[in-house]
Structure 1
Amino acid sequence: MPFKIKEARKEKGFTQGELAKRANVSRATIIGLENGSITVTTTETLTKIAGALDKKVSDIFLA
């Protein structure tokens, strides 16, 4: 099951680059998590992305 990053990002009106900057992660990380090529990452990265989207980690990354 894909992560819900793209939906949450679009809801906020962010580009992939804007989200990456806000979360302090690479754009490649955002792209990989959105398209499913990255399925495992650190808790720190998940927390940063969720925080940048004003969401809980579980809302975006868990079924």
Structure 2
Amino acid sequence: MGLGDKISNKAQEVVGGAKEKLGDVTNNESLEAEGIKEQAAAKAKQAGEHVQDAAKDVFGG
């Protein structure tokens, strides 16, 4: 994964966190759930990046 992808995924996680908090504060369950979903998607992408990075380290790719 490139640096741009890593930045994009981290940004998605941060935006998701903000949506979750805003939804909680405003009692908007839909927005809160959307934020949680975005965070989960970003974390899944980041986990995939870690696996790819580890594979590169092991196999020299």
* TMscore range, shorter length: under 0.3
Larger helix fraction of residues = 2
Higher relative contact order (CA 8 A, sep 6+): 1
TM-score using structure 1 length: 0.27
TM-score using structure 2 length: 0.27
Q: Which has the larger radius of gyration?
A: 2
